[in-house]
């Protein structure tokens, strides 16, 4: 059976891990080679952005154990920070014990904004725009016949009045279902195309015509139960609840809480070729939607004393368009996920964000975050001096116990172990 529950994955050599992923996802020899070498052709890079002089590589890792809506996923993550992948896998394992993540996502509705200033009569302008609403929507759809044919396109139009120190502005929102595209190019084109008509209808002057990254009509949600028994007992549950309340009520803590969520989400976003800045902007502006910046996750305890977590945030991600189409590794990452639809990708990313957040809260509420980091550091050192998979744990444990985490000590411990001496 195809399962993402793989124990000891982290202990395997890189090529062994790659072999498992290859089998899981049915990767071709060529895809394996592209991934192994982290290949991005220079000519592709040269066409992606301006003034290119070289390439920049980051580790591509896999988080294991994810079960989302009953389906097993291996999660590709690209990130420079240690502990993130291990934490996600660990949290996913605990959630898996109670059935994994339940996730959902809305349609891919993006908002395109048209800013109109110096409108002579606001009420009359709004009346005229609303009277022409259906024609405006139809005109927008003519600008992207492919999207319309696929079942997406402009859906609705709204008008807001926003006061400024220089007088009111009329802000027109065009709501567009961009299906599997992130949608920025799509909706920007529509806003620019509608602008002359909007100017004529309102008698005002149009300045900006651009997507809003506060994609609050394009939300992804995930929820999971972390049973008291699986996560370490009542005291751990209580500690996590206090950590959550801290973030919910204090923006200083909420910023770091949400940063932890984005550790997971952005790592998947980088692997799959998403616009990470758009995702960050969407997440943090959504976290401040009430006027007070707060958490993107919620936690509660049920009658059995088990912990539940949930997350809701905008996730404007694409499986077509943008970089996804051109970056060979982004395409492989989507293949590993087995995902073709943007909504499914958003559900996965929401689940990873929740897993990441839960893992951070659990660590913070118990041993503190540094212990995990030091363990990973010690593990890297043990491996660097040649400890085999069966020796690593003991070398790590002894270095941590002695508070001597360095290459010299690791070598000595390994020699002692191999010559039969005990701690």
Contact with ligand NAD (CB under 6 A) among 64, 112, 141, 213: 213
Q: Are 260 and 364 within 8 A, CB to CB? A: no
> Of these, 183, 260, 264, 353, which contacts ligand NAD (CB under 6 A)?
183
Among 65, 112, 178, 258, binds ligand NAD (CB under 6 A): 178
321 is an interface residue for ligand NAD by CB under 6 A: yes
- Catalytic residue check, 72: no
Asked if 72 touches ligand NAD (CB under 6 A), the answer is no
Nearest to 96 by CA among 358, 345, 281, 286: 358
Distance CA 40, CA 91 (A): 32
Binding to ligand NAD by residue 275, rule CB under 6 A?
yes
239 vs 338, which CB is nearer to ligand NAD?
A: 338
Q: What is the nearest approach in angstroms of ligand NAD to the Cβ of residue 107?
A: 12
Q: How far is the CB of 175 from ligand NAD (least distance, A)?
A: 15
Binding piece for ligand NAD, criterion CB under 6 A, among 8-16, 157-165, 190-198, 316-324: 316-324
Q: Phi-psi bin for 386: left (phi > 0), alpha (psi -120 to 50), beta?
A: left
Q: How far is the CB of 30 from ligand NAD (least distance, A)?
A: 24
Catalytic (active site) residue 275: yes
Orientation of helix 328-337 relative to helix 29-37, angle to 10°: 120
326 binds ligand NAD, rule: CB under 6 A? no
- By CB under 6 A, tell whether 112 contacts ligand NAD: no
Cβ proximity to ligand NAD, 108 vs 202, nearer residue? 108
Q: Which is nearer to ligand NAD, 174 or 254 (CB)?
A: 174
Tell me how long the chain is.
423
Q: State yes or no: residue 315 binds ligand NAD (CB under 6 A).
A: no
Do 278 and 181 contact (CB within 8 A), yes or no?
no
Write down the least CB distance from residue 341 to ligand NAD, Å.
Answer: 8
317: exposed, middle or buried (Cβ count in 10 Å: 0-12, 13-18, 19+):
buried
182 binds ligand NAD (CB under 6 A): yes
* 113-152: contacts with ligand NAD (CB under 6 A): 144, 146-147, 150, 152
Q: CA 175: distance to chain centroid?
A: 23
Least Cα distance to 78 among 216, 246, 274, 243 occurs for 274
Question: The tokens of 41 are what?
Answer: 């052709």
Contacts of 313 (CB under 8 A, 6+ apart): 219, 220, 261, 282, 283, 286, 287, 296, 350, 353
The span of 2-10, 298-306, 318-326, 371-379 binding ligand NAD (CB under 6 A) equals: 318-326
Catalytic hit among 118, 373, 404, 411: 373
Region near ligand NAD per CB under 6 A, out of 65-73, 128-136, 177-185, 369-377: 177-185
Per 3-state DSSP, what percentage of the chain is helix, strand, and coil (rounded to 5)?
50, 20, 30
Q: Does 260 bind ligand NAD (CB under 6 A)?
A: no
Strands of 109-117's sheet, edge to edge?
153-162, 169-177, 109-117, 205-212
Choose between 84 and 184: whose C-beta lies nearer to ligand NAD. 184
Which run of H or E residues covers position 22?
Answer: helix 14-25
Q: What end-to-end distance do the CA atoms of the chain give, in Å?
A: 42
Residues marked as catalytic: 81, 259, 275, 373
Q: Which residues bind ligand NAD (CB under 6 A)?
A: 144, 146-147, 150, 152, 178-186, 188, 211, 213, 275, 278, 318, 320-323
């Amino acid at each position: 059976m195809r399962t993402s529950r793989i124990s000891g994955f982290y202990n395997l050599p890189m090529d062994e891990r790659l072999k498992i992923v290859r089998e899981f996802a049915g990767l071709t020899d060529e895809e394996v080679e592209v991934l192994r070498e982290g290949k991005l052709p220079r000519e592709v890079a040269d066409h992606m952005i301006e003034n290119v002089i070289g390439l920049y590589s980051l580790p591509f890792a896999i988080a294991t154990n994810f079960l989302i809506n009953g389906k097993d996923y291996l999660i590709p993550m690209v990130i420079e920070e240690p502990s993130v992948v291990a934490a996600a896998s660990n949290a996913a394992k605990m959630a898996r014990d109670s059935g994994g993540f339940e996730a959902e996502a809305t349609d891919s509705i993006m908002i395109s904004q048209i800013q109109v200033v110096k409108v002579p009569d606001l009420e009359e302008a709004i009346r005229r725009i609303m009277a022409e609403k259906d024609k405006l929507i139809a005109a927008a759809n003519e600008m992207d016949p492919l999207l319309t044919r696929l079942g997406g396109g402009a859906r609705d139009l709204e008008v807001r009045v926003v006061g400024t120190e220089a007088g009111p502005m009329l802000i027109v929102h065009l709501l567009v279902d961009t299906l599997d595209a992130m949608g920025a190019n799509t909706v920007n084109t529509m806003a620019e195309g509608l602008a002359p008509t909007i100017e004529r209808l309102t008698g005002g002057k149009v300045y900006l015509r651009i997507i809003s990254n506060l994609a609050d009509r394009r939300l992804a949600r995930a929820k999971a139960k972390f049973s008291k028994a699986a996560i370490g007992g009542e005291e751990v549950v209580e500690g996590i609840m206090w950590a959550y309340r801290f973030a919910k009520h204090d923006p200083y803590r909420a910023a770091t809480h949400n940063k932890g969520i984005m550790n997971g989400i952005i790592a998947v976003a980088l692997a799959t070729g998403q616009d990470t800045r758009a995702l960050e902007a969407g997440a943090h502006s959504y976290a401040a939607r009430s006027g007070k910046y707060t958490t993107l996750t919620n936690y509660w305890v049920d009658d059995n004393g088990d912990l539940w977590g949930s997350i809701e945030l905008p996730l404007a991600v694409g499986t077509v368009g943008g970089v996804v189409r051109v970056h060979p590794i982004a395409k492989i990452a989507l293949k590993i996920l087995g995902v073709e639809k943007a909504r499914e990708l958003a559900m996965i990313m929401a689940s990873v964000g929740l897993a990441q957040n839960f893992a951070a809260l659990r660590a913070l509420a118990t041993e503190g975050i540094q212990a995990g980091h030091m363990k990973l550091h010690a593990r890297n050192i043990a491996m660097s001096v040649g400890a085999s998979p069966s020796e690593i744990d003991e070398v790590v444990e002894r270095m941590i116990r002695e508070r001597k985490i360095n290459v010299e000590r690791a070598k000595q411990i390994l020699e002692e172990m191999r010559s039969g001496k005990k701690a």
